[in-house]
Amino acid sequence: MGELKTIISANIPVSLAQQLKGKTKGTRSRVIARALKAYLEEKDAFNLWDITTEEMLLELAFRPELSDMQKELIRQMYLEVKE
């Protein structure tokens, strides 16, 4: 026998509820349970402060939407931070 379950009530945006509307009740429950568990355990939490400045600048330097001048400025910042 599995873990006991309970019904909870929560207010969520209508647009989010509409996206879940086509799913079965069991699927909705599993999706919500996984999301809550990840949130409470903070496994999927993303924190920008976990990325070093060097890593961030390197990532930005290779973005195709940046001009050569912008990439050069980022490269200069990277060299200053790296020292």
d(CA 57, CA 81) in angstroms, rounded, equals 9
Q: Kindly report, residue by residue over 1-45, the tens digit of the pLDDT.
A: 678 988 888 898 999 888 888 888 788 888 888 888 888 887 666
Can you spell out the DSSP letters for 9-62?
Answer: -----HHHHHHHTTS-HHHHHHHHHHHHHHHHHTSS---GGGS-HHHHHHHHHT
d(CA 71, CA 69) in angstroms, rounded, equals 5
d(CA 56, CA 77) in angstroms, rounded, equals 11
pLDDT classification of 80: cutoffs 50, 70, 90? very high
Q: What pLDDT does 78 receive? A: 93
pTM here?
0.46
d(CA 28, CA 19) in angstroms, rounded, equals 10
Q: Kindly report, residue by residue over 54-63, the tens digit of the pLDDT.
A: 999 999 999 9
